[in-house]
Amino acid sequence: MSDTQGILIAIGGHEDKDGDRTILKAVAEQVADGCLVIATVASQDPEQYFEAYRAAFGALGVSDVAELYVDNRAQADDPELRALIAGAGGIFFTGGDQLRIASQIGDTPLEEEIRTLHKRGGVIAGTSAGASVQSDVMLVDGSGDESYRIGDMHMAPGLGLIPDVIIDQHFAERGRIGRLLGAIAHNPRLLGVGIDEDTAIVIESNRFKVIGSGAVTVVDAGHVTRSNIAEAKPDRVLSIHDVVMHVLSAGDDFDLGSRRPGTIRSE
Amino acid sequence: MSDTQGILIAIGGHEDKDGDRTILKAVAEQVADGCLVIATVASQDPEQYFEAYRAAFGALGVSDVAELYVDNRAQADDPELRALIAGAGGIFFTGGDQLRIASQIGDTPLEEEIRTLHKRGGVIAGTSAGASVQSDVMLVDGSGDESYRIGDMHMAPGLGLIPDVIIDQHFAERGRIGRLLGAIAHNPRLLGVGIDEDTAIVIESNRFKVIGSGAVTVVDAGHVTRSNIAEAKPDRVLSIHDVVMHVLSAGDDFDLGSRRPGTIRSE
């Protein structure tokens, strides 16, 4: 990666908006020149999201904000919207449905502008759906609080800003370990990263550090010795042997290349 | 272990009582001579439990059942109750509160009779609280659906029929991976075994096999490279690096000595 490439921040949802704002502060600090674009594309009711983030970022000194919303895919060609991203210092994707983001702006000129923003050093951040969409493959659906059954297959391509990673959010709160294990069982090339609420990973040059009040669970199927994902019937529960799991919290970091955790400082 | 030692069956709760009854059938098959004692000690409202299991086991051909209930610890000395266990072919602990079982009959003559029953080949089975109490150390409390915080410390000694293991139940359904990781972080000597509802482990000679419709999650902290359990403040979230995790389902087995999973047959 080049030195100018911007930072990516993936947030597990429900980040603190009126207390310490640890996570939003980390986003705000990365916005240098230009406005911060609040992309509410994931939502069908964008107004409330935009107002909440305008207030939260305003309190952190980022007053130059603009909303990005597209109602249908044709709008992703709009020169005005492209110019908005071209002049931005960063973009923040709100929550909603990650499939709305990917299906509305995936493979459009607008997505290309977002990649260009990232390459020239702009921050790309997102919470909940806005975190999932940054990864290569995203979990779209799938129940929480149950073991994964072979037939529960709900993945879709994301924007792919973070290669070879599948991000899940609201992770501990919605009991999503089962569905993340199901996802990585399909192809251990994908590293599973489950982010709790009010918790984020800050990715810079193929490493991430953890910030916020919860945990980030990393599941690595690279050394799995057996799974029944390919052979079993759809209603069968997943078997998977020898997954390596790391639970990381603030002060921990992780190298996405070597897939090894580390600790910057203990708290 | 000697050859006559009985089988242990630990069930994750909510086992099927009126369909295939796969799990209760496995219990019933182990009851040879003598009655099956239904121990409702875990509950403060034992009558409903006893009637439900009398009906379910009756339908499986086990009609010689008796209830074991103690209202207070002094009763655990009762010669009649001791004689009941001495003449039994097996014992089945119902759900409720595992701390009631351990505190009422732990280290009493009644517990000694239960150990003797196990040694002479009788089956010891239990569901939910009745599964937890079989392990060396049991989780008594601790929230589901959240990452483990250092101060959440709710373990207690169990009956210790299964050494060096900590069993948790209703596992995926109540999102209990966080609390089980917290437990094994305290001392990696303990292997964490989380059993889903309508799922059981059948333990014979230091190996268990999985039966039922859900999964059994094994977490092994034996190769952990770092955790913050000893140093961090009580409200900090747990960090733990390099846990080995196995998700097992019907047809899988596990060697408790070598801590290695295997597969008897795929389904």
Q: In the predicted model, is pLDDT for residue B75 greater than 50?
A: yes
Q: Rounded mean pLDDT of B182-210?
A: 96
Q: Is A195 an 8 Å CB contact of chain B? A: no
Of the listed ranges A9-13, B70-74, B151-155, the one predicted with least confidence: B151-155
B146 is catalytic: yes
Of the listed ranges B23-27, B29-33, B39-43, the one predicted with least confidence: B29-33
> Do residue A266 and residue B147 have CB atoms under 8 angstroms apart?
no
Return the H-helix or E-strand segment holding B177: helix B177-186
Question: Residue A150 in contact with residue A178, Cβ under 8 Å?
Answer: no
Question: To the nearest whole angstrom, how far is the Cα of B184 from the nearest Cα of chain A?
Answer: 13
Q: In the predicted model, is pLDDT for residue A2 greater than 50?
A: no
Express each pLDDT in A94-143 by its tens digit: 999 999 999 999 999 999 999 999 999 999 999 999 999 999 899 887 88
Mutate to test the interface with A, among B213, B239, B246, B252 (most CBs of A within 10 A): B239
pLDDT for residue B255: 97
Which residues on B lie below 8 Å from A144 (Cβ)?
Answer: 175
Q: Is B34 an 8 Å CB contact of chain A? A: no
pLDDT for residue B45: 86
Q: In the predicted model, is pLDDT for residue A266 greater than 70?
A: no
Of residues B197 and A156, more confidently modeled: B197
B170 is catalytic: yes
Express each pLDDT in A20-54 by its tens digit: 999 999 999 999 888 999 999 999 889 899 999 99
DSSP chain A: --TTPPPEEEE-S---SSS--HHHHHHHHH--SSEEEEE-TT-SSHHHHHHHHHHHHHHTT---EEEE--SSGGGGG-HHHHHHHHTEEEEEE-SS-HHHHHHHHTTSHHHHHHHHHHHTT-EEEEETHHHHTTEEEEE----SSSPPBTT---EEE---SEEEEEEEESTTTTT-HHHHHHHHHH-TTSEEEEE-TTEEEEEETTEEEEEESSEEEEEE-TT--EE-TTTS-TTSBP-EEEEEEEEEETTEEEETTTTEEEES---
Question: To the nearest whole angstrom, how far is the Cα of B67 from the nearest Cα of chain A?
Answer: 33
> Environment class of residue B3 by beta-carbon count within 10 Å: exposed (0-12), middle (13-18) or buried (19+)?
exposed
Residues within 8 A of A (CB atoms), B 133-172 only: 144-148, 172
pLDDT for residue A151: 76
pLDDT for residue B226: 95
What's the distance, CA A45 to chain centroid? 20
What's the distance, CA B228 to chain centroid? 28
**Which chain A residue's Cα is nearest to B173?**
A145
**Which chain A residue's Cα is nearest to B265?**
A228
Express each pLDDT in A217-244 by its tens digit: 999 999 999 999 988 788 899 999 999 9
Q: In the predicted model, is pLDDT for residue A267 greater than 70?
A: no
> Do residue B243 and residue A245 have CB atoms under 8 angstroms apart?
yes
Q: Is A213 an 8 Å CB contact of chain B? A: yes
Question: To the nearest whole angstrom, how far is the Cα of A95 from the nearest Cα of chain B?
Answer: 20
Which domains are present in chain B? 8-253 (3.40.50.880)
Q: Is B233 an 8 Å CB contact of chain A? A: yes
Per-residue pLDDT band for A58 (boundaries 50, 70, 90) equals very high
Q: Rounded mean pLDDT of B27-55?
A: 93
Q: In the predicted model, is pLDDT for residue B59 greater than 80?
A: yes
What does pTM read for this prediction? 0.93
**Cβ count near A45 (within 10 Å):** 8
> Do residue B236 and residue A242 have CB atoms under 8 angstroms apart?
no
B132 is catalytic: no
Which residues on A lie below 8 Å from B196 (Cβ)?
Answer: 146-147, 237
> Do residue A144 and residue B175 have CB atoms under 8 angstroms apart?
yes
Q: Rounded mean pLDDT of B104-130?
A: 95
